[in-house]
Homo-oligomer: A and B are copies of this chain.
Amino acid sequence: MSLSFELLATDGAARRGRLTTAHGTVETPTFMPVGTAGTVKAMLPQSVAETGAQIVLGNTFHLMLRPGAERVAALGGLHKFMNWPGPILTDSGGFQVMSLKELRKLDPDGVTFRSPNDGSQHRLTPEKSMEIQHLLDADITMSFDECTPWPAEEPVAAASMRLSMKWAERGKRAFRDRPGYGLFGIVQGSTFPALRAESAKALLDIGFDGYAVGGLAVGEGQEMMFATLDTTVPQLPADKPRYLMGVGRPSDIVGAVKRGIDMFDCVMPTRSGRTAQAFTRRGELNLRNARHRDDPRPIDELCACPACTNHSRAYLHHLIRSEEILGAMLLTWHNLHYYQDIMRGLRTSIERGTLGHDIAAFEAEQGRGDIEPQ
């Protein structure tokens, strides 16, 4: 066993687990803040840890182009480079490369593309992606796959998934197995249950340390995403961690945990923090809105983050209108803290066996809208 995953409790399909990696332990369900270019944007790494995050995500695509995987390796690996001593999961670069559209050319062996930074030519293959993630020293390496666009006709989705399965097998052969390090396979197949089942079986035959569900949250909507999870998750082994890639809003995460997902990542809390959007237990707030201009209250008086403990909505509104960096810093911190609050709550609910009840309360609270002044 390269990574160890312990199942501590279940509540329906939901799981409370513990993932042990070379750089530490992760309590699941977990949310991984996205540290694209070796930094969770607008946050000191110790502040990321203070929100309760135990693992962060790094981007192969961004880091291979700048500063370069060899350079990161020479500087001691990504943990040391970004001063994040805890576990790191790296994506494979596949998703970003596919998004380049006219700057990339796909062939059965891999993808050739031009850097959006300087136009230089690069190539990613399953083997190369493994090599880069190894140089970055990722605790969890992701298979290099083609993220099927949505919507896709079934034959297109099938061909894309089958290519990804071939690449997954090549990646598995190239991956350097070591204690505390692991490789995850990625289930594709768009929203077609039969393709998802075929993909899951192919990955199980290869054998991975964890299983991700890819190609969702790409525009299909929450209902179809949940329907896909309903048919896909039961195909995955109970004794391995399950990761829903790129998801999502708080209600997406809650619904996916209920369906047996253990790990999440999403740019939403960090990106929204830089665009004046705050996530709260009572839904979303846009702090740029003039109605916050004179409001002495915090975003949420029950939140323990520095933005809510020390600052008024009026001040945050002022920072945003003045385009001050501190506005992005405080809202990012709040959003990451809130996401970790959700995960803490979900873990406790599963331990206590009260998940159904607690999710109903969460949904009612979200539906009540912004807290009005007393």
On whether the beta carbons of A82 and B325 are closer than 8 Å, the reply is no
On whether the beta carbons of B321 and A66 are closer than 8 Å, the reply is yes
* Residues in B whose Cβ lies below 8 Å from that of A67: 293, 314, 317-318, 321
On whether the beta carbons of B322 and A325 are closer than 8 Å, the reply is no
Distance between A69 CB and nearest chain B CB, rounded to angstroms: 13
Stretch with Cβ within 8 A of B (4 or more), from A19-27, A71-79, A167-175, A335-343: A71-79
On whether the beta carbons of B71 and A293 are closer than 8 Å, the reply is yes
Q: Which of B82, B329, B330 contacts A329 (CB 8 A)?
A: B329
Q: Answer yes or no: A216 CB below 8 A from chain B CBs.
A: no
Within 8 A of B (CB), among A3-43: 37-39, 41-43
* Residues in B whose Cβ lies below 8 Å from that of A317: 67
On whether the beta carbons of B326 and A325 are closer than 8 Å, the reply is no
On whether the beta carbons of A324 and B37 are closer than 8 Å, the reply is yes
Per-residue interface assignment for chain A, residues 284 to 298, with 1 indicating a CB less than 8 Å from any chain B CB and 0 otherwise = 000000000110100
Q: Answer yes or no: A245 CB below 8 A from chain B CBs.
A: no
Within 8 A of B (CB), among A230-285: none
* Residues in B whose Cβ lies below 8 Å from that of A81: 312, 314-315, 318
Q: Answer yes or no: A328 CB below 8 A from chain B CBs.
A: yes
The distance in angstroms between the C-alpha atoms of A41 and B322, with both chains bound, is 11
Distance between A58 CB and nearest chain B CB, rounded to angstroms: 13
On whether the beta carbons of A75 and B296 are closer than 8 Å, the reply is yes
Q: Answer yes or no: A311 CB below 8 A from chain B CBs.
A: yes
On whether the beta carbons of B71 and A326 are closer than 8 Å, the reply is no
Copies in the complex: 2
On whether the beta carbons of A329 and B42 are closer than 8 Å, the reply is yes
- Once A296-B75, A321-B66 are accepted as A-B contacts, the answer to whether A38 and B315 lie under 8 Å apart by CB is yes
Specify the chain B residue showing the minimal Cβ separation from A327: B39
On whether the beta carbons of A71 and B324 are closer than 8 Å, the reply is no
On whether the beta carbons of A318 and B38 are closer than 8 Å, the reply is yes
Within 8 A of B (CB), among A71-93: 71, 74-76, 81-83
On whether the beta carbons of A66 and B329 are closer than 8 Å, the reply is no
* Residues in B whose Cβ lies below 8 Å from that of A324: 37, 39, 41
The distance in angstroms between the C-alpha atoms of A38 and B311, with both chains bound, is 12
Distance between A331 CB and nearest chain B CB, rounded to angstroms: 12
Q: Answer yes or no: A319 CB below 8 A from chain B CBs.
A: yes
The distance in angstroms between the C-alpha atoms of A310 and B82, with both chains bound, is 9
Q: Answer yes or no: A356 CB below 8 A from chain B CBs.
A: no
Q: Answer yes or no: A49 CB below 8 A from chain B CBs.
A: no
Q: Answer yes or no: A111 CB below 8 A from chain B CBs.
A: no
The distance in angstroms between the C-alpha atoms of A296 and B74, with both chains bound, is 9
* Residues in B whose Cβ lies below 8 Å from that of A322: 37-39, 66
* Residues in B whose Cβ lies below 8 Å from that of A204: none
Q: Answer yes or no: A369 CB below 8 A from chain B CBs.
A: no
Q: Which of B39, B74, B83, B315 contacts A82 (CB 8 A)?
A: B315
On whether the beta carbons of B294 and A74 are closer than 8 Å, the reply is yes
A-B pairs with beta carbons under 8 Å apart, 25 shown: A37-B318, A38-B318, A39-B322, A41-B324, A41-B325, A41-B326, A42-B326, A44-B330, A45-B310, A46-B306, A46-B310, A67-B317, A67-B321, A71-B293, A71-B294, A71-B314, A75-B294, A75-B296, A75-B314, A76-B296, A81-B318, A82-B315, A83-B310, A83-B311, A329-B329
